[in-house]
Structure 1
Amino acid sequence: MKAALIVVDMQEDFCPPNGSLAVHEARTLAPTINALLSHKGFTLRVASQDNHPADHISFAPNHPPPNNLPFTCTITMTNPAPGKETETKPQRLWPVHCVAGTPGAALIPEIDAAKIDLYVRKGMDARVEMYSAFADAFGNLDKEVNRSSVDVDLRGVLSEQGITDVFCVGVAGDYCVKSTAVDAARAGFRSFLVEDATRCVDPGEGWEEAKRELKAAGVGLVSSAEVEGLVGGV
């Protein structure tokens, strides 16, 4: 067994008190995440970051009223992959967040960045949402399809490192953490989500639905206390 820890989107714009898309209690996750980052059982420690252009499709102000209210409105998004242009799906609109080069896109200082081995910047293609650190919202995993959305072929890197198991933490549990964990399983890794090391946009029914999706994808829900027994080390 060789395990990787993926710290998902622990960025200023996703954290109180000033984040434009702040997830309740997100900043309080830092001690738990730092303890996991210090765990000797992990071979690789990855941090993902939303790194959006200002004209990103998910930003509510980039669409005309009245269908441009963040959180409540959706638009139709088209698959950017060649030959799949007829494939569409609804996209929830968000406040402007994590624009490349802005303070809101930075990792929060409470996270022990010295322990991070690899950064993955995602959501770089204005045409498509990318919650997962592996694939865009249409599930395009191929690095050639995905090259405009993300700067690292995460599946390729993990495979080259001989990683067998992936543990996901961070925000938001019902969006980017869930999607990363599901895609890790889809990419052929044993996948786990550390439940006490994540917080959600919609912590009620949103998280319950996310857990159903995670279980259906074969992702294990574990606590940080259980990680010791799963990855070994000290």
Structure 2
Amino acid sequence: MKALLIVDVQYDFLPGGALPVEEGDKIIPVINEIQEQFQFIVATQDWHPPKHGSFAASHDGYIVGDMIQLGGIDQILWPVHCVQDTKGAEFHSSLHTKKWARIFQKGTDILVDSYSGFYDNNRKKDTGLAAYLNKHGVKEVYVVGLAADYCVKFTVLDALKEGFHTFLFKDATRAVNIRPGDFEAALQEMQEAGAVIVDSSVLLNL
């Protein structure tokens, strides 16, 4: 069985949001078209408590882009984003959600960030996503969403570690690109780990 995994298509990661991904909104129509080809769909949602440890505003004397230790690992500091029960944390209204089987929230622990939809960044807490997919007999995971060089990448890498045959729809993701070339570097890292990078046009042959 195959599953579509939609990662963090939320207002704060879209143009006009607190942590916007350039052209992030352009992937929404693509994702909606992709969803028509899947019977089993799940999604992840960044869902931070106020004053989360990954926010620069939570640390006196630090600014966005600074590096700190959080949860025992290196952490880049971000703008305040995807705070629980705020508009920025909501999925974009034009994103089709009716077919979704379940939403997995992440980043809920104030003391550690969580890019992956499977685990937090120090891999101590499990969202339950892998168990849920296994329970439903999923063998193949197809990933779309935001952002390619952070939450999408780490979700793909963890899907591979959990034993899923993992695909990424290249035309249904965009990158933060803090450094030029981060998108391409993320694609290469995922591919070298075993992910299959495809265009959504392959759906015609699934």
Q: Which TM-score bucket, shorter chain as reference?
A: over 0.9
- The residue number in structure 1 matching 2:189 is 213
| CA offset digits 1:190-223 (Å, max 9, x no partner) | 0111100000000732112212321232111111
Gapped runs of 5+ residues in structure 2? none
Partner of residue 131, structure 2? 156
Check whether the contact 2:54–2:70 (CA below 8 A) recurs between aligned residues.
Answer: no
Aligned partners of 1:191 and 1:219 also within 8 Å: yes
**Percent of matched pairs sharing the same residue:** 39
Give the Cα–Cα distance (whole angstroms) in 1 for the partners of residues 99 and 28 of structure 2.
13
Q: Within 5 Å, which residues of 2 pair with 1:14-53?
A: 14-16=13-15, 18-39=16-37, 42-53=38-49
For residues 35 and 160 of structure 2, the distance between their equivalents in structure 1, rounded to whole angstroms, comes to 21
- 1:41-120 counterparts in 2 under 5 A? 42-65=38-61, 68-70=62-64, 72-78=65-71, 88-120=72-104
1:159 is displaced (CA, Å) by 0.2
Distance 1:93 1:166, change over 3 A: same
Shift of 1:89: 2.0
Amino acid at match of 1:9: D
Q: Extract unaligned runs of 5+ from structure 1.
A: 79-87
Post-superposition shift, 1:114? 1.1
Aligned to 1:194: 169
Aligned with 1:113: secondary structure?
coil
Partner residue in 2 for 1:134: 118
Aligned counterparts of 2:36 and 2:99: Cα–Cα separation in 1? 7
Following the alignment from structure 2 to structure 1, what is the Cα–Cα distance between the partners of residues 204 and 129?
24
Could you tell me the TM-score, scaled by structure 2's length? 0.95
Q: Deviations over 1:15-73 (max 9, x none)?
A: 11x2000101111111100001111xx341011110000121110000121xx211x21
Question: Partner amino acid for 1:101?
Answer: D
8 A Cα contact 1:53 1:125, kept in partner: yes
> Secondary structure of 2:50's match?
coil
Native 8 Å contact 1:134 1:154 kept in 2 = yes
CA displacement 1:115-136 (0-9 Å, x = unmatched): 2221111110001110111011
**Which residue identity is paired with 1:21?**
L
Q: Name the larger-Rg structure.
A: 1
Cα separation, 1, equivalents of 2:142 and 2:88: 25
AA in 2 matched with 1:185: L
The residue type paired with residue 125 of structure 1 is D
For 2:5, the equivalent position in structure 1 comes to 6
Tell me if the contact between 1:165 and 1:190 (Cα under 8 Å) persists in the aligned partners: yes
In the TM superposition, structure 1's runs of 4+ consecutive aligned residues that sit over 6 Å from their partners are none
Maintained 8 Å contact 1:173/1:199: yes
Amino acid at match of 1:8: V
Shift of 1:158: 0.3
Deviation string 1:69-93 (CA, Å, 9 cap, x unpaired) is 11x2111122xxxxxxxxx321011
